[in-house]
């Protein structure tokens, strides 16, 4: 499970990577009022990086829950690890595609990452269902 847990850690850090990109690609950052600063930004890269930042927070909770649920349901660790690595790779690609303004490919990658999360959740559900007396 070390691989899957490592992926959870990486996924937890991804929002902060994208916010650093946002804060370094706009006008001089103002830490006294960061939300108002972001609202004033006209840089498309800054705004897309901020959107990737927010979306990374949205994607994290279901992924982390999926990993934990799959482990509790005794889904084989190898399956959990493969889906976890795929999720992280896809989410990194998602952020890069978002910042790079590749919207169609970004949406495809987002869908594939969501499929990884759904697979973890479904495997957990089926694992619990088959383990019940």
- The average confidence (pLDDT) of the chain is 93
Please name each of the domains of the chain with its CATH number.
Answer: 2-131 (1.20.120.550)
pLDDT of residue 60: 98
Under a CB-based contact definition with an 8 Å cutoff, are residues 43 and 27 in contact?
yes
Helix residue ranges, H only, the chain: 2-25, 34-40, 44-72, 77-99, 103-131
pLDDT greater than 80 at residue 52: yes
What global pTM score does this model have? Answer: 0.91
Rounded to whole angstroms, the Cα distance separating 76 from 61 reads 21
pLDDT greater than 90 at residue 71: yes
Higher pLDDT, 124 or 36: 124
Dihedral over Cα of 115, 121, 123, 129: its sign: negative
Rounded to whole angstroms, the Cα distance separating 56 from 88 reads 11
Q: What is the per-residue pLDDT across 74-119, written as a single tens digit (0 to 9) for each?
A: 999 999 999 999 999 999 999 999 999 999 999 999 999 999 999 9
pLDDT bin (cut points 50, 70, 90) of residue 129 is: low
pLDDT bin (cut points 50, 70, 90) of residue 32 is: confident
The residue among 29, 37, 46 whose CA lies nearest residue 99 is: 46
pLDDT of residue 28: 87
Show contacts of 22-29: CB within 8 Å, 24+ apart: 22/46, 22/47, 22/49, 22/50, 22/53, 25/49
């Amino acid at each position: 499970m070390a691989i899957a847990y490592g992926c959870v850690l990486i996924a937890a850090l991804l929002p902060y990577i994208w916010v650093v990109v946002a804060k370094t690609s706009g006008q001089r950052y103002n830490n006294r009022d960061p939300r108002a600063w972001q609202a004033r930004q006209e840089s498309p890269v800054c705004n897309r990086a901020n959107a990737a930042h927010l979306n990374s927070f949205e994607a994290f909770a279901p992924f982390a829950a999926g990993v934990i649920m799959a482990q509790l349901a005794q889904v084989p660790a190898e399956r959990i690890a493969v889906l976890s690595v795929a999720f992280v790779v896809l989410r990194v690609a998602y952020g890069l595609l978002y910042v790079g303004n590749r919207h169609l490919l970004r949406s495809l990658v987002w869908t594939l990452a969501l499929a990884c999360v759904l697979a973890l959740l479904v495997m957990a559900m089926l694992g619990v269902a088959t383990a019940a007396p």
